[in-house]
Chain A
């Protein structure tokens, strides 16, 4: 399988509007939990938007798109980053591709091939394009590829058309409905919730690479009542290189166990979630009795450290819903160094922008999308522009207010440069940094920096009041002191009964709305009786569809099950599909025309003038429209074998008898009561013979349609009046009659033999000899008559060539039921020539010998 073939297989995995612009085989994902197996990387373009997909393939190379499953989707937006490294040990052969988008980071190992250049070029074109557009692309088309399994199921269901009818579009409003319900329920929250106070303990400690060698209850178990929720954050859990590079540390368990051991013993807690990025650890515990009211626990991490993404700095977050209140806890460690407050502001913004809580089937949530946010951490803001010794003196005097005027965080917060919308309680404790570890003494190194309140706690959201905000100096193993705050927070609790009632009301309202919006039309006629319908006589009826609903309606006449067309072949419906605006109407013309094909079927009883049309309104009901009529039987469309059996006008023959004859036509033999040729053919030929042989342009000038219809009626009714109409109309009626017979005069199965034999008169004669009796009669009778006509070519202008072409087409009619290969024009000309050649023999040669063999 070559590159292009594989590419087309990959393309099939996507919609046609989603174009695979580049792809790479042999990519390996470097991820501790993933098998290091070959994967495909491809770039897919949809409109102006591009995304990188990583696909797992069950067979290599993929033989079909079903072998492929999408594992990773990385939209190329302005969070997208791409870095390329060479493998140090093998720089020529292997490449590392680090891709990052919306906090998803993946490292791929790629074999160097010439294709890599294309791929990387395409990737950078994508990145460049994104940087140029002012608006952030939305990547709506990617939604279906996120949250693999469940979405797949939904997509599969939505592509299965309902009962094969064009009803599938109803699924779209349903999806909209779901979000509408959510939205409405959210709006009515007050109607079905009451509030309940929960106490929330938040603690933060930069442990400066220490193990928990001291008890922690002096930090974690200090409140009068055991808190309901604990959110405990650590920074600098582990400063070793290993942690930084491999993100693994034994300290996580150490500190986690220490927290578990030292939380308030009066209550029983369970872990709600914990999350760590390098040295930042956030643990959320909740009283066991509340865990069943917690849902949608999701965590995320954002690195803002080295190169703006490493995890030595940044934030880790946990979100969840407690009853009906969404809560978010963030533990962050912002940029260090005294002067770097701008950088810290930036880190805060980065954490806000890049934290994304992904939930299946839901839009990703950001930190701000929560009712309550608690932000703790070593925020690292310092005291500047104040002499360290002054600061220390003011601390000694317990004059914190004076120092706090110079606190970078207070200043930045006041100016809304950071923590806009957040609140911090009054600080009544000593700065928490920097101490000589193991003591309560200020850092004694030569730097002599001013002590600072690096460790802080902010909150955002209604109905939160802070009960305490303090530090815990006794815990002195680190150069920071731990800080904690206790909050009393109102949590919205759902009243089940009220909720149910409101929910049902909302549903009821939506059902009502939805039912009102179902398209409504009025059709003035659902039963259309065409009355008597005659052969080749077009009849038209009009029905009016009026849109009486509130929205535009799109209608379409749809196929019934297992039918290839929405109506019978003798019916034409125009328009069969249209959109009608509210209060407007649309006229639909229904036309009935019985031509030879439909006449044959009706004559044989395999079809009747009866049809039910299904008028479907998109998103709404179906209306049945019944079409009926009575076909007035005509000699047109009958078999020659039937006509020779009719010794009275067809009008006087019972329909049942006609159908019976039609179905037994193969067994028709001559007897005393059969004519040798149909009397209708004889009438027409005889009329021309008597009155029209010298008519100029005989068989070439068309007749009048109205006269042809009169002639039809004359034949069918057995009128004793003279034949109506001009010679040309009679001639045309003759041609139409010959053309309309259920079977052609030369049976379909002999046609190819005739064409083969067309150059040989003797062979042609042989074939004619073997024709079914009545058709041979008609054939010879007509040829005899045409020879007679040619006798008067001086007057009527006929020549054998013209006539043989005209009648070749009639005698050797093509089988309409045979699926014909698209004939080339030349091929058709050749066939037509042969048909003419076949007939020509019988127009120029004396074939009375054939007649006498009768």
Chain B
């Protein structure tokens, strides 16, 4: 006769949601593509037409609730200016997720985004989840980067991809949610081997969940 060892797949009615995973997420991309605006929209639901340029790496946290788990993002919004490029590894090293942002009205920023993706693939944790965000989708009239082109590139490189608009909020929550869903949440060191500090989430509290299950996704 089985006692209370309900499976992880179906959360029993009334089981308080206490499993929290924390992830470090870094935003990268050319300056003025809207990294800070995306974060501001996601975290505070705000948008400033004239967002100040980030000189450094801004830090904010935001939690998203998935069906069976709560994901807390520690967001590092980095300065996009080229001269700060050499400092970026401080922020993407040890990150479990990255959003590489470009501006759909500026082809150069897309090229720059590809370089960031390359750099992440080489230097970041092998299990890092990378999302590509084509921001400023509200300015579709001035579009210089075709959706299909970016989508094809993302598919080739196994990236999540969405066109976003911090101004209209389009796809902003969605892209963070998509990342949260893709992140490995087992404590025994996420996917992709490596086994560095960055692998897998830090599981903070699992008083209620059954111990045996390896992944709650």
Contacts and interface: CB of A to CB of B under 8 A. Distances in A.
A508 B62 CA distance: 8
Contact of A624 (B17, B55, B72, B187): B55
Which range contains the number of B residues in contact with the other chain?
35 or more
Nearest to B6: A292
B60 interface: yes
Contacts of B14: 293, 323-324, 493-494, 496, 499
Interface in A141-181: 150, 153-154, 157-158, 160, 162-165, 170-171, 174-175, 178, 181
Interface in B174-217: 187, 197, 202-208, 211
Contact of A160 (B56, B79, B91, B197): B197
Contact of B1 (A150, A178, A270): A270
A183 interface: no
A292 B13 contact: yes
B60 to A, nearest CB: 5
Contacts of B74: 170
Contacts of A163: 24, 90-91, 93-95
Interface string A258-286: 00000000000011110000000000000
A294 interface: yes
Contacts of A624: 55-57, 79, 84, 87
Contacts of A626: 83
Contacts of B2: 270, 291
Contacts of A503: 16-17, 65
A507 B4 contact: no
B153 interface: no
Contacts of B204: 154, 174-175, 178
B56 A615 contact: yes
B58 interface: yes
A174 B3 contact: no
Interface string A279-309: 0000000000001111111000000000000
B22 interface: yes
B75 to A, nearest CB: 10
A370 B118 CA distance: 55
Nearest to B64: A507
Given A270-B1, A295-B4, A178 B20 contact: yes
Contacts of A620: 59
Interface in B1-32: 1-4, 6, 12-18, 20, 22, 24
Given A170-B74, A515-B60, A621-B57, A504 B89 contact: no
Nearest to A610: B83
A323 B15 CA distance: 7
Contacts of B79: 624
Contacts, number: 150
Contacts of B208: 295-296
Contacts of B202: 154, 157-158, 171
Given A561-B90, A612-B83, A621-B56, A162 B24 contact: yes
Interface string B13-53: 11111101010100000000000000000011000000000
In this complex, the member of A272, A508, A515 whose beta carbon has the largest number of chain B beta carbons within 10 angstroms is: A515
B107 interface: no
A389 interface: no
Nearest to A274: B3
Contacts of A273: 3
Contacts of B61: 511, 514-515, 518
B63 interface: yes
A621 B16 contact: no
Given A157-B202, A162-B94, A626-B83, A293 B65 contact: no
B4 A297 contact: yes
Contacts of B22: 174
Nearest to A361: B207
A165 B26 CA distance: 15
A496 B13 contact: yes
B72 to A, nearest CB: 7
A178 B89 CA distance: 30
A72 interface: no
From A500, A507, A626, residue with most partner B Cβ within 10 Å: A507
B70 interface: yes
B65 A507 contact: yes
A510 B18 CA distance: 15
A154 B62 CA distance: 21
Contacts of B93: 163-164, 561
Contacts of B86: 560, 612
B59 A621 contact: yes
Interface in A601-638: 612, 614-615, 620-624, 626
Contacts of A296: 4, 207-208
Nearest to A492: B14
Contact of A295 (B15, B63, B91): B15
Contacts of B87: 560, 612, 614, 624
B65 to A, nearest CB: 5
B89 A360 contact: no
A240 interface: no
Contacts of A362: 207
B4 A511 contact: no
Given A153-B187, A163-B93, A324-B16, A500 B58 contact: no
A182 interface: yes
Interface string A552-570: 0000000011000000000
Contact of A272 (B3, B16, B65, B89): B3
A181 B17 CA distance: 10
Contacts of A178: 18, 20, 204-205
A158 to B, nearest CB: 8
B89 A561 contact: yes
B89 to A, nearest CB: 5
A23 interface: no
Interface string A355-378: 000011110000000000000000
Interface string A478-515: 00000000000000011010011001100110110011
Interface string B65-85: 100001010100001000110
A621 B87 CA distance: 14
Given A292-B6, A362-B207, A174 B13 contact: no
B90 A150 contact: no
Contacts of A160: 197
A165 B74 CA distance: 15
A9 interface: no
Nearest to A178: B205
A736 interface: no
A294 B13 CA distance: 10
Interface in A170-204: 170-171, 174-175, 178, 181-182, 185
Contacts of B16: 182, 185, 324, 494, 499, 503
B123 to A, nearest CB: 10
B103 to A, nearest CB: 22
29 contacts: A154-B202, A174-B20, A175-B204, A178-B18, A178-B204, A270-B3, A291-B4, A296-B208, A297-B4, A324-B14, A359-B207, A360-B211, A361-B205, A493-B13, A493-B14, A496-B13, A499-B17, A507-B65, A508-B63, A510-B63, A515-B44, A515-B60, A515-B62, A526-B56, A560-B87, A561-B93, A621-B58, A624-B79, A624-B84
Interface of A: 150, 153-154, 157-158, 160, 162-165, 170-171, 174-175, 178, 181-182, 185, 270-273, 291-297, 320, 323-324, 359-362, 493-494, 496, 499-500, 503-504, 507-508, 510-511, 514-515, 518, 526, 560-561, 612, 614-615, 620-624, 626
Given A182-B16, A293-B12, A511-B62, 16 more contacts: A157-B197, A163-B95, A174-B22, A270-B2, A295-B208, A296-B208, A323-B14, A361-B205, A362-B207, A494-B14, A500-B17, A507-B65, A560-B86, A560-B90, A612-B83, A612-B87
| Top 10 A-B residue pairs of the complex, sorted by shortest distance between their CB atoms | A163-B94, A494-B14, A623-B56, A160-B197, A621-B59, A292-B12, A323-B14, A163-B93, A622-B57, A178-B205
